[in-house]
Every structure is written in structure tokens, then in C-alpha cells.
Chain A
């Protein structure tokens, strides 16, 4: 068995030679960059023990391909589906995609759409702390999902991506790159799933690029095994009059480090950043965000909801940054922690850095238990306390899902949430 760092000598790479050279450089960078320490601002409160990756090994090809393909079910109606497992493509269905839409692996895109790939692949600097792990990702990424929607093209039904990990201590490097042309419309649901309940390591990157007037709804349903360590490094670049709605649901994982950057580069652009995080046991979700207002009159709306039970931990560190030219910025940032246990440990660090006076910004963090009055009211209707608590937690998250405009998608997400919270 090879360790995470050594690529199996025999494994042929599907990447073009020029990208393989970049991967070698990325591996060298990974090895050179120091492991983060607590005094790094972007790792305050972080659990650094989770950064010991020595147990993880290179993933073998999936053994249960048919089972994973069958288990890759989500919405009733989709425009296309891409299923990846252990860094390889398992299945692709793209029959209902409009002309010109590209949905294929990143490896294919690097070969067949080299200009697009070079322009957008990991084009943003990593600013929220995980440069080292972004380098690791680049060094080891394989397969990956690439979606390109040309200008003035609407994909009516959602596209679904399934990214699986299988096997003890397997390492996967999921990558989703979405490029939306001018005035295009698309909805993508990205599922991250484990084939088993074993420990695993995932180091993923999602980059969303929206050209002028584009509208993208991106849903990440992270449902790794409860033993998984995962990094998810997200960036969203929104150009003029475009709207990005991104919802990250963290249902699984032992340790999740999420970094989400939204950069509003075009006037009148809008970025919605939502996250729902039910955590229990000793699970830990560490999220760092940046709303970077470069262009004037842009809007960003961040709402992160955590419900913490048992000895779980969450960290939220968010920054709204208003650049000197970004007059008329409207930025909102809020994290709400619903505390279900005295041993839970929520950490919230909302922040502002405003370099222009003509802006409207608000930020805040709240912590609170389940309201005793709400609980009593539900019990007084005959609902046992435990079920009532779960319904209240479900309601806490559901109120965020109302931001999803697409009805079948919202109902689907409500169903996934109810299943996650065991609401019968």
C-alpha cells in the first residue's frame, strides 16, 4: 500500500503532460508549505490534530461500482448526472443537456477544452488558510467534474454530481469546476458520499465562475462517513448582474474544514452563501468565509446555521471585505448556533473590513438553546420531547431552505434533511 504522498508508480495518469508537470510542482509546494499552527489567524480555534494525514492511503479503484451507481439517486428529474468514485469516472448521463453545454471530467476538459480549463482551473488564490491543502489537491486530483454552460443557455432541470469514496483510509480529491457563460442559468447538486462507514480523507475544491447576468444555484450535500476528514475549498466569482446561490449542507464527516470565498467582481452582482450544519458526537465543522466586494453595488448574503449536540464543535470565522471601489455594497453575514448540549462548543468570529463609506453591512453571531416555550407547546400537543426537539432543529434548518426557489429541489432537500435528523 502506498501512502497519500506517493502516487502508485504503475497508475497511468489521464492528464495531459503539461498538467502532470504542474502536479509535480504542486506536490513540491505541498511538501514545502508548513503545517498550519494555532497562531495562524486562519487556524484560530482549529483542531490541528485533524491535520495529521499519515493514516491515509491512495484510493484503489472502487470495488462496488454497480452498487454505487445504483445508489447515486437524488432528484426525480435531472438534466444530467456525473458519478465519480475514488478519483475515477464511474458513469455519465447527459442526454438532456442543451447544445453546447459541456459536462465531462476535468481530465477530458484539460485535453479537449484546454483554453477554458487553463483560464478557470484553480484560478483563484487560496486566501482562507489552506494553501498547503490546495496544493495537495492539485497534485493529486484526478477525474473531477467540469461543467460549462455557454452564454444565453438555460439548463432547466438540475444537474447532479455524485462523488464517492470507498475503502478504509482511502483518499479522494473531488473537484467541481462550473463555468457559467453570460446570461446562462443552471442548477447543480453535488453529493459527496461514502460507500461505507470507514475512515477516509477527502480534499476537494469547488470553483464557481459566473459571467455577466448568469444565475447559478449550487447545492453541496456533504454526506461523508462519520469517520472522514475532509477539506472543501470553495470559491465563487460573480460578474456583473450575475447571481450565485450556494448552499452547503454538512451532514457527515468527523472533521470538516470548509473555506468559502465569494468575490463580487462585477457591478450589481449577488452572492448568497448558505450553510446548514447539524453536528453531534465529537464531530467538528470548521468554516472560514470571505465576502470580497470588489465592484460597486453588489450584494452578498451569508447565513450559516449550526445545531450542536453532544460534544460537537463548530468554528465560524467570516470576513466581509469591502474594497475601496465597492461603493453601494450591501453585505450581510450571520451565523446562528442552536445549542443542544452543555458540552457543545460553538466558536464564532464574524468580521468586517470596510474601505468605502457608502456601504450597508451587518454581521452577527447568536448562540441559543431550544426555546423551552416552543418545546412545551409541542409537548402539549402530545409530541414526545425528543421528537419535538428534532422537529425544532429541523424547522431551524428548514427556514433557510426557503431561500431555494426551485420547488422540487427544495422539497428534495427538505426530505434529505428530515432523513438526516431522523424525523419520521
Chain B
């Protein structure tokens, strides 16, 4: 049981961004992807979520054997158990967080079945409390006027409520101060389970002090070029990415 990415290639317009990417996250593990800006990390997250701007030109992504690309619409992939926490979450004017998450949960119920409103709010408040999100936020429009940290906490709140099987966190640490980073990491760590896999995309090693990964992958130019344990992240933090590129050239 795993999130398995095989030989994945994808373009935006005429430009190829992902160039035969391979990666497997077994259920129960946390994997991290590190890489320089422009290496294709965010593209990977968006391609998996089904963003219409990207064209998949080859390869596959499977969730526990389920072919993601047989599901055309992003909502089908989400309901199949994939969650992507975005680097830049959208603002949705006039749609409250409570109604937004409620609609997302309602969409996961069989037709004709109604979400229990009382239970829903109890559950929502509990998750908000644990993420230290003021309950007043339920009646605020999704991400509208939120600070960077509030947006990221709102992403983690959605993840906690939607209970995905595989979660991809794209630069969830960007824009967070240390306190917010700790809250967000605690939220993610609380969800670590043998029944769930995480793929944490980050630019900095800092996040991985809080969310300690089982495996660290290095992404260069649309491919995973190196994998290792958490010490690889420390090495990247200390020495940068140049040595990785040299090593690839040497073995090429």
C-alpha cells in the first residue's frame, strides 16, 4: 500500500517540468522532497491534484493501486483520498470556512445522506482548538484577509477534517514564524498513522526538525536524483545543492 509515482512527466505549455519522476511513499511513512526553486516541486503537487494548467505527458500516479490519472476531475482525486495543502491557498470571497469544509465533507457522503450539523461543528471546533485557530474563523471567508500563517493553519485544518489517506504538503512552512511552524507541525504529527502517508515538500530543512521524515528525496530538474534518511536534509542545509548536482554529473 503506497502512493506510487512512476516515470511521471508533465508540461506547462510547451515547457517540460517533470522529467520521468519516480517516488514511492509507503503508507505509514513521511517522505520529504527538497529541492531548489524551479526544480519542479510545486508542479508535482499540482499535477497530482489535477490542476488544469498542467499536462501529464507520461507516467502514472497510483494511490494504493488506484490510478489517479483515470480520475479526470480534481474533486474525484480528493474524494479518493488525496489531499494537497497548497503553497498559495486561494481566497474564496463570501464562502465561510465552515460552509467550505462542510461542502467538502458532504461531497464524500453517499447521495441523499446529510451531514449531521451538530456533530460537524463539534468536530470542527475540536480541530480548530488543537490548531489554535480562533473559533470566530468559522464565519470568515476562506483565506480572505488571512495572514500567511493563518492560511497554512487553515490548510492543515482542512486536512484534519477531510482525513485523507495520502497528504501532500507543498511548502507548508513558508510564511510561518516559529510558533506557527510548531502548531502546524504538531497538527501534522498528530495525524501520522500507519493508515496514512505524507509527502512533505519543502525548501528548507527547518520544517523537518518538527516533522521528522522517514526518507528525504532530492529533486533536481524534474527528477528525484538522490534519497536518504533525515541526515540528508541536514547535509543539504549545511552544504547547499551544488554537491548533489556534481555527484549526478559524475555518475551520469
Chain A contacts to B: CB under 8 angstroms: 371-374, 376-385, 387-388, 391-392, 394-399, 424
Would you list which residues of chain B between 70 and 87 have a CB under 8 Å from chain A? Answer: 73-75, 77-79, 84, 86
Closest 4 pairs (CB-CB, A-B): A395-B94, A382-B78, A398-B94, A395-B95
**Structural contact, B108 and A391, CB atoms closer than 8 A:** no
**Structural contact, B74 and A399, CB atoms closer than 8 A:** no
**Structural contact, A382 and B93, CB atoms closer than 8 A:** no
Q: Chain B contacts of A373 at CB under 8 A?
A: 90
Q: Confirm or deny: B49 has a beta carbon within 8 angstroms of a beta carbon on chain A.
A: yes
**Structural contact, B95 and A392, CB atoms closer than 8 A:** yes
Q: How far is the CB of B160 from chain A (nearest CB, A)?
A: 13
- Out of A380, A383, A395, name the residue touching B50 (CB < 8 Å): A380
Q: Chain A contacts of B108 at CB under 8 A?
A: 382
The digit string for B144-179, where 1 denotes a CB below 8 A from any CB of A, is 000000000000001000100000000000000000
**Structural contact, B94 and A381, CB atoms closer than 8 A:** no
Q: Confirm or deny: B212 has a beta carbon within 8 angstroms of a beta carbon on chain A.
A: no
**Structural contact, A394 and B51, CB atoms closer than 8 A:** no
**Structural contact, B92 and A378, CB atoms closer than 8 A:** yes
Q: Chain A contacts of B106 at CB under 8 A?
A: 424
Q: How far is the CB of A382 from chain B (nearest CB, A)?
A: 4
The digit string for B86-100, where 1 denotes a CB below 8 A from any CB of A, is 100111111100011
Interface size class of B (residues with CB under 8 A): 20 to 34
Q: How far is the CB of B12 from chain A (nearest CB, A)?
A: 14
**Structural contact, A399 and B93, CB atoms closer than 8 A:** yes
- Out of B52, B93, B162, name the residue touching A381 (CB < 8 Å): B162
Q: How far is the CB of B199 from chain A (nearest CB, A)?
A: 15
- How far does the alpha carbon of A379 sit from the alpha carbon of B101 in the complex, in Å? 12
> What are 20 A-B interface contacts by the 8 Å CB criterion?
A373-B90, A374-B91, A376-B74, A376-B90, A379-B50, A379-B73, A380-B84, A381-B162, A382-B108, A382-B162, A384-B75, A392-B95, A394-B94, A394-B95, A395-B92, A395-B93, A395-B94, A397-B94, A399-B94, A424-B106
- Chain A's closest residue to B49 (CB) is A380
**Structural contact, B104 and A382, CB atoms closer than 8 A:** yes
Q: Chain A contacts of B90 at CB under 8 A?
A: 371, 373-374, 376-377
Q: Confirm or deny: B225 has a beta carbon within 8 angstroms of a beta carbon on chain A.
A: no
Q: Confirm or deny: B66 has a beta carbon within 8 angstroms of a beta carbon on chain A.
A: no
Q: Chain B contacts of A388 at CB under 8 A?
A: 75, 103
Q: Confirm or deny: B107 has a beta carbon within 8 angstroms of a beta carbon on chain A.
A: yes
Q: Confirm or deny: B141 has a beta carbon within 8 angstroms of a beta carbon on chain A.
A: yes
- How far does the alpha carbon of A388 sit from the alpha carbon of B76 in the complex, in Å? 13
**Structural contact, B141 and A399, CB atoms closer than 8 A:** yes
